[in-house]
Chain A
Amino acid sequence: MGGLQKKKYERGSATNYITRNKARKKLQLSLADFRRLCILKGIYPHEPKHKKKVNKGSTAPRTFYLFKDIRFLLHEPIVRKFREYKVFVRKLRKAYGKAEWTGVERLRDNKPGYKLDHIIKERYPTFIDALRDIDDALSMCFLFSTFARTGKCHVQTITLCRRLTVEWMNYVVTSRSLRKVFLSIKGIYYQAEVLGQLITWLVPYQFAHDHPTDVDYRVMATFTEMYTTLFGFINFRLYQTLNLVYPPKLDSKAESELKAEHEEDYAMDSESYLEKLSALSASLARVVATAEEEENQLDLFPTEGEDQENMQAREKEQKEQEAQKRLFEGLKFFLNREVPRESLAFILRCFGAEVSWDKSLCIGGTYEVTDETITHQIVDRPDMDKQYINRYYIQPQWVFDSVNAQMRLPVEDYFLGTTLPPHLSPFVEEKDGDYVPPEKLKLMALQRGEKPVQEEEDEEEEDEEEEEEDDEEEDDVDDEELTEEKNLKKMEGTRAQGKTLAVKVTPGKVKPWETGSVGNKVRLEQEEKAEEKRLAIMMMKKKEKYLYDKIMFGKKRTTREVNKLTAKRKAHEDASKSQKKQKKAKKQ
């Protein structure tokens, strides 16, 4: 055989991948800088199909990047900025060492910086792309905006994050795009629908953070750097779509209204403006002053058949959404000082309510507690001393549950000092076979417009149905064989006994399903079908059998979980019932 011998690992997948260390060396960057670059440019490692081949025969655990990705990074202008910064740090250190203070100052003035605009444009070529990826940015900015201004990151970053989040909230309020809210133990989840994209973010509760030591804040800061840039551009664009002024300005009318008497004492002028914005109680200034939002209606096109049905469904949906947007319109809320002001003000304003709070709580309260027109006061304490008759005193969960239910729920369950009904996640969409908590069923009935019926009956029925379904299949499978086996055993037993006699003929029994009653026929059919299925399963190909087994295993697991939950619920209800009875007995 002629020709050169082919060398190993010089073609194929081995050349398509590059290890992290090699990539770093190729880019001439330190690991920290490489990490930063990857974060900013959105480069992530790849898992090769044949790891050993790519790793040139070694099985050592390594991180691989696509070689194309790294080549793509080579042309990034930011890499040069990183190097410049490295040089700057070196120079600065030298100047410090020599105590050349003018030099230090000059160097500091010329500190190299970089912009991420082009990276954002490159990573998100269209606006919708960017909007789709904003979830993490929102959560991160909301987290950073709650940091104390002590050392964990730059103060500018914190203020910028705060500014951007306030802008975002103002946008959501103005566009009324909030859809779902959820009070979890981690924080408050919000979901908004912006330009057709569902955007979910998580805001921590307002507490000082206990900063963990095993978290690398540099990584988080790099992400935040990228996210703030992205977020700012998105905000700009969003404000543009609503014809709002960016950076946001308060309506001139609102501004004059908000002018408090002792504003100078409250904060510096520059700061109080952001505070006023974050109060969310006033509307924003528009580029072109329009009287009111005009109703945007769907244009009607002449359609036929299915399209028409679709159209109608869409119209209905649109209507529902419109109704949801006006959920709290016409209501006047007052927030007590112990409830989370910002989140509640945000939600209530998103659905068109008027909100106010105590003047000492925050700037921007528009009316006092004593206002007679207040319809709801949100309170989170066991009791109130002075209560007005013409308003409801409700707990904050009412607002959240109402938003999720897309209707104003009856306030009775949420009155002061009552035990609250469970707060359900609006993000769970139950498929058939999944567990549905009874509260959800009740809520769904309420949404359909039914009156709340005797609740317990409902639940029990539900439970029974589920159990039956689970049992049925297994029963069918075994029953026939079991009975047969029993009969046989009996026969065998008699045979064994009668062995001493020469031959004994026992009268044959007619099997119960052969008598031909209707129920038995149905049963027989079911059995037949079950057996057919079992036989067909035997004939499956190995691959398909594996897949089938896996699917069935998953199904069984879900049913097991559902059963567990229902059992737990039942046990809980029984316990609470017996407690009630005991209490009654005691009373008597």
Chain B
Amino acid sequence: STLWANKSTNLQRGDTASTIDVSVLDIRNTVGNVPMEWYQDYPHIGYNLDGKKIFKPIRNKDELDEFLDKMENPDYWRTVHDKTTASDIRLTDEQVDLVHRLQKGQFGDVNFNEYEPSVDFFTNEVMIHPVTNRPQDKRSFIPSLIEKEKVSKLVHAIKMGWIKPRKPKETTPQYYDLWAKEDPNAILGRHKMHVPAPKMRLPGHEESYNPPPEYLLTEEERLVWEQQDAEDRKLPFLPQKHSCLRAVPAFSRFIHERFERCLDLYLCPRQRKMRVNVNPEDLIPKLPKPKDLQPFPTTMSLVYRGHTSLVRSISASPTGQWLVSGSDDFTVRFWEVNTGRCMKTLEVGGAVKSVAWNPNPAVCLVAVCFERTVLLLNPSLGDRLVVSSTDQLITAYEPPEEDKEQAVTWALSEGLEHNMGHRLTLTHPKAVKQVVWHGKGDYLSSVMPDNSSNLQVLIHQVSKRRTQNPFRKNKGLVQCVSFHPLRPYFFVATQRYVRVYNLIKQELTKKLMTNCKWISSMAIHPGGDNLICGSYDCRLAWFDLDLSTKPYKMLRHHKKALRGVAYHRNYPLFASGADDGSVIVCHGMVYNDLLQNPLIVPVKVLKGHQITHDLGVLDVTFHPTQPWVFSSGADTTIRLFT
């Protein structure tokens, strides 16, 4: 609107700018072309020619006035407000006409003819007389020397072959027979070890646009798929079914997959992986059939019940008619093997840790150990002659002249205890864990595990009631000991090693590395050249003493800690009992030929014991003559497998 106002004032001022000042009325504002807002806060709006202030009209028109004016004034449409003078001006007819013409884009002057004929001053026709009279330059008709020089230089360069014409650009690549002279021997060394990239995996049924219904994911599977990370997904896409080819949409990850393939091709390290392509059946070792290795115990035939707490130890009599067992319920029980009948029950003053029947068939003696005592019992079972001769043997003892100081006090039982079967009581300085007889039945060894003293193993001679401590030094916590069945050797198993001592020479002959963490039990082959060690870390180590100090074979048959191992005296059998409640019987054939290694074949897994308090089988022992095995367990039972 300001533009409009200015225009209108200009119109009033006259036609040309130069005449403005002269022809204006004296009330004209002299402030010039400045924004009128500058005078907003003043009572005047400028100065007239005399320098007097031009005052604003006292009352400005408000909206209502404006509206009334619009309604009533017939000339309202041609009235223009002049801001510089703050007055309304009514446009004349000529002025309105001019405005209309300008709005239409016509010339302001009515009389201006825009189509006047043009005067052609310099025509294209050549006239007789030139427009200018200047003579031509000489250079306009003499060839340029500079250009000549340039051209001659170029010509020279071309002649000399310095400048070559530009080759035409090859837009399309040229193909030819690249492998026309292919020489398979010309393969570079690098390519000999080149690993070609594996091809893309071929699609399966699930990738089809119309797969069989079983390949579509169910609702749950789909949810799982969506929640999984992209790497964990088994399928990189969701199988979909479309009713017709027309309905198949574009695969949104197409470019991604191609790009990933590109990345694989140039970023992935490649390696030749040797994939083992074996038939799993071929891996199973070919062993002789257990059927051919009979006899061995196969079924559980008897359960000896009676104990009320776990049965720690069992031992069979040399005749094979009786069985003795020691339990945590402070009792020792004697059983008849064939009937399962408990013949005798003896109360002793503590949890029985170990029992051992004297292997000498001419003597009827049982060693029982509990707390700090080793008790020698005469169970009075079997042949009466043997029983009485045993008693005689014990009473026939004559004390030597000079009484030596002994680590153990020997005491003869009398009275009631004698009637109960007690014969000799050996009171040890420490708690006894194990008792073992020598094969001849005269010597007896007891183990008192103690990490800090050298008094851990004692060897007693029953006939002379003598005790000696064979070791001067402590070589670690002794787990169990054993006598060599034929020769004067003595085996001591500490936590990780088995030491073999020569008792005559009184020296260490061998130290066996068991590779176990903690030995629990040990058994010597009746031939004396082989040894098995059970350990708490589920292993059974077979040593061939002639071969090496390292195990000949490690058997990991059990799932839990081994508690007891045993060899059969006559048959090539050995058994191991473990906390998983099973007894595994193996065929362990030792050949007389030294060159032939022992043959070890597991023949039977015997189950029956229940696991109580995480304990299963605690001890195993073989019947001395039959291929039967006894096992005692934490479920208070003793079982016979035949």
| Residues in A lying within 8 Å of B, measured CB to CB | 35, 38-39, 42-47, 63-64, 68-69, 72, 109, 115, 117, 120-127, 130, 132-133, 135-136, 139-140, 143, 156, 160, 182-187, 189, 200, 202, 204-205, 207-212, 214-216, 219-220, 223, 228-229, 232-233, 235-237, 240, 246, 338-340, 380-381, 395-397, 419-420, 422-425, 427-428, 437-439, 481, 484-485, 488, 492, 495, 499, 503, 528, 531-540, 542, 544, 547-548, 551-552, 555, 565-566, 568-569, 572
Which parts of B224-257 form the interface with A (CB within 8 Å)? 237, 239-240, 242-246, 248-252, 254-257
Complex alpha-carbon distance, A207 and B248, angstroms: 11
Give the residue name and chain of the B residue nearest to A541 (CB).
Answer: B285
Partner-binding segment picked from B194-202, B354-362, B370-378: B194-202
User: Is B283 touching A532 in the complex (CB atoms < 8 A)?
Assistant: no
| Shortest CB distance A214–B (Å) | 8
User: Is B250 touching A207 in the complex (CB atoms < 8 A)?
Assistant: yes
Complex alpha-carbon distance, A531 and B496, angstroms: 33
User: Is B285 touching A532 in the complex (CB atoms < 8 A)?
Assistant: no
Which parts of B255-277 form the interface with A (CB within 8 Å)? 255-259, 261-263, 265-271, 276
Which 4 pairs of residues, A with B, have the shortest CB-CB distance? A207-B250, A427-B202, A47-B269, A569-B214
- Chain B residues closer than 8 Å to A220, beta-carbon distance: 258-259, 262
User: Is B291 touching A528 in the complex (CB atoms < 8 A)?
Assistant: yes
| Residues in B lying within 8 Å of A, measured CB to CB | 166, 171-173, 175-179, 182-184, 186-188, 190-191, 194, 196-197, 199-200, 202-205, 207-215, 218, 237, 239-240, 242-246, 248-252, 254-259, 261-263, 265-271, 276, 278, 280, 283-287, 289-291, 299-300, 303, 305, 341, 555-557, 584, 600-605, 607-608
- Show 7 residue pairs from A and B whose CB-CB distance is below 8 angstroms, ordered by the A residue: A44-B265, A44-B269, A187-B251, A200-B202, A215-B255, A216-B259, A232-B175
User: Is A156 touching B291 in the complex (CB atoms < 8 A)?
Assistant: no
User: Is A539 touching B287 in the complex (CB atoms < 8 A)?
Assistant: yes
Give the residue name and chain of the B residue nearest to A554 (CB).
Answer: B280
Complex alpha-carbon distance, A536 and B204, angstroms: 38
User: Is B262 touching A186 in the complex (CB atoms < 8 A)?
Assistant: no
12 more A-B residue pairs beyond the given contacts A44-B268, A210-B252, with a C-beta to C-beta distance below 8 A: A64-B269, A109-B166, A186-B207, A200-B202, A207-B250, A212-B256, A216-B259, A233-B176, A538-B584, A542-B556, A568-B218, A572-B213
User: Is B284 touching A548 in the complex (CB atoms < 8 A)?
Assistant: yes
User: Is A535 touching B245 in the complex (CB atoms < 8 A)?
Assistant: no
Q: Among the listed A228, A481, A532, which residue makes an inter-chain contact with B173, where contact means beta carbons less than 8 Å apart? A: A228
User: Is A538 touching B557 in the complex (CB atoms < 8 A)?
Assistant: yes
Give the residue name and chain of the A residue nearest to B186 (CB).
Answer: A125
Question: When A72-B190, A547-B283, A572-B214 are in contact, do A423 and B209 touch as well, CB less than 8 Å?
Answer: yes
Q: Among the listed B191, B199, B255, B276, which residue makes an inter-chain contact with A212, where contact means beta carbons less than 8 Å apart? A: B255
User: Is B248 touching A205 in the complex (CB atoms < 8 A)?
Assistant: yes
User: Is A126 touching B258 in the complex (CB atoms < 8 A)?
Assistant: no
| Shortest CB distance A381–B (Å) | 7
Q: Among the listed A43, A115, A235, A422, which residue makes an inter-chain contact with B211, where contact means beta carbons less than 8 Å apart? A: A422
In the complex, the number of residue pairs spanning A and B with C-beta atoms less than 8 Å apart equals 270
User: Is B602 touching A187 in the complex (CB atoms < 8 A)?
Assistant: no
Complex alpha-carbon distance, A171 and B603, angstroms: 68
- Chain A residues closer than 8 Å to B268, beta-carbon distance: 44-45
- Chain A residues closer than 8 Å to B284, beta-carbon distance: 533, 536-537, 540, 548
| Shortest CB distance A135–B (Å) | 6
Complex alpha-carbon distance, A420 and B240, angstroms: 15
Complex alpha-carbon distance, A215 and B212, angstroms: 33
Q: Among the listed B210, B259, B303, which residue makes an inter-chain contact with A422, where contact means beta carbons less than 8 Å apart? A: B210
User: Is A45 touching B269 in the complex (CB atoms < 8 A)?
Assistant: yes
* Max chain B C-beta neighbours (<10 A), residue from A43, A380, A424, A542: A424
Complex alpha-carbon distance, A424 and B204, angstroms: 8
User: Is B602 touching A182 in the complex (CB atoms < 8 A)?
Assistant: no
Complex alpha-carbon distance, A395 and B246, angstroms: 10
- Chain B residues closer than 8 Å to A495, beta-carbon distance: 303, 305
User: Is B303 touching A182 in the complex (CB atoms < 8 A)?
Assistant: no
| Shortest CB distance A215–B (Å) | 5
Question: When A419-B243, A547-B276 are in contact, do A136 and B303 touch as well, CB less than 8 Å?
Answer: no
User: Is A381 touching B245 in the complex (CB atoms < 8 A)?
Assistant: no
- Chain A residues closer than 8 Å to B212, beta-carbon distance: 422, 424, 437-439, 569
User: Is A185 touching B237 in the complex (CB atoms < 8 A)?
Assistant: yes
User: Is B179 touching A126 in the complex (CB atoms < 8 A)?
Assistant: yes
Complex alpha-carbon distance, A458 and B184, angstroms: 53
Give the residue name and chain of the A residue nearest to B299 (CB).
Answer: A484
| Shortest CB distance A442–B (Å) | 11
| Shortest CB distance B559–A (Å) | 11
- Chain B residues closer than 8 Å to A63, beta-carbon distance: 267
User: Is A540 touching B209 in the complex (CB atoms < 8 A)?
Assistant: no
User: Is B341 touching A233 in the complex (CB atoms < 8 A)?
Assistant: no
Complex alpha-carbon distance, A43 and B261, angstroms: 15
- Chain A residues closer than 8 Å to B203, beta-carbon distance: 182, 184, 186, 189, 425, 427
User: Is A397 touching B210 in the complex (CB atoms < 8 A)?
Assistant: yes
